[in-house]
Amino acid sequence: MSNNFHVQRYVFLFLLVVFFAPVKADSIPQFQMKDQYGQSYSDSSVKGKPIVLMGCYLRDVEICRKQGRKLYWKMQNLLWKDSHKVNFLLYLDLKETNKIVEDYIEESKHKQYENILLDRKGHLANGLSKGEVYIRIFNKSGKLLSSTYQSQIEETLIQEVYEILKKEI
């Protein structure tokens, strides 16, 4: 009876671990949100092209903007004529927004900033890490090809992203 109890206990613990373990998403997460200009985006609207999805927490907006711009502009130069064949999406987790942030977003509508998706419901928050940009690359059908966390975009990463995208377009 004792052995049977231990086996049942281990099976139960194993099932708990499997059930509650984080699931690694192998496809683009479902989302629907707007950018700061009111343009709507969804997982289904961006499929059909390779997707570079970069995100971070609100408190890391400067890292996100700086590193996102660096990667985006480097890819524009490297891909040159093919850059329109890739969807580059930058998003902020805005579940913990406040009036100052909302005022800033409203004021930025009149500036020439890159589009930033405003994730107010946390559709893309899973996997974010403090102080880092979460970068994922998906193929045309939305299958995950690569994911990484970066606090700085180095030339080696730029080359890796370029190689992945070049194969996909």
pLDDT in tens, 29-87: 999 999 999 999 999 999 999 999 999 999 998 898 899 899 999 999 999 999 999 99
Pick from 136, 127, 130, 122: nearest CA to 151: 130
Q: Which two tokens stand for residue 113?
A: 């900033």
pLDDT at 161 over 60: yes
Q: Residue 130 to residues 24, 56, 60, 63, 73: CA-CA distances in angstroms?
A: 19, 8, 7, 10, 24
pLDDT at 16 over 60: no
pLDDT in tens, 105-157: 888 788 777 788 999 999 999 999 999 999 999 999 999 999 999 999 999 99
Contact (CB, 8 A) for 128 and 94: no
pLDDT bracket for residue 10 (50, 70, 90): very low
Percent of the chain with pLDDT over 70: 85
pTM above 0.85, yes or no: no
Higher pLDDT, 131 or 14: 131
Long-range contacts of 44-49 (CB under 8 A, 24+ apart): 46/87, 46/89, 47/140, 47/141, 47/142, 48/140, 49/85, 49/86, 49/87, 49/140, 49/169
